[in-house]
Amino acid sequence: MFELKVPSGRLRFARFMSVAELKTITEQEIINYTTEWHSTIQPAQEKDFSTLSNKINDLFEQGSEIFGEGSKQEKYLKRNYKAGDTKIHAHYDEFLTPEAICRALKQIADGFFEDSDYPWVKDHKK
């Protein structure tokens, strides 16, 4: 049904790394992660979200049939989907894109973050 691919290497944990840990990332790690991201992770992600879209549309139709159009149950399903509250969203939100990692590394190099800071918006302690 869903592929839910996971990148290899330690950069898959980049969202949870401190600035001190991010400073140890090598150019070769970035190259490897970028290659894997564009050849494996991104295509799987696109396929998974396409599958999700098809399944969620079927679910919305069934929700309308079962609970009635405009029902609170149907609204609940739609609200949760729009909020990104699915297994697919949660899975792929764990991994940063290579571009996001490179932006963070540039900001770190420019002294934007302290060693104790985490450059990610989401809670790093998930």
Residue 123 maps to a domain: no
Quick check: is 114 in a domain?
A: no
Residue 70 pLDDT level (bands cut at 50, 70, 90): very high
What is the pLDDT at residue 41?
A: 97
pLDDT of 118: 61
Instruction: Tell me, yes or no, whether 52 lies in a domain.
Output: yes
Q: Predicted confidence band at 121 (pLDDT cuts at 50, 70, 90)? A: very low
Its pTM stands at 0.81
How many domains does one find in the chain? 1
In the block, tokens 């297994």 appear at 87
The pLDDT assigned to 119 comes to 60
CB 115 within 8 A of CB 18: yes
Q: Give the pLDDT confidence score for residue 124 in this predicted structure.
A: 40
Domain membership of residue 64 as a residue range = 11-109
Is 60 part of a structural domain of the chain?
A: yes
| 102 in a structural domain | yes
Is residue 57 included in any domain, yes or no?
yes
**Mean pLDDT of the chain, nearest integer:** 89
Q: Is residue 105 part of a domain?
A: yes
Any domain includes 85: yes
Closest CA to 86 of 61, 51, 121: 51
Q: pLDDT grade, residue 115 (50/70/90)? A: low
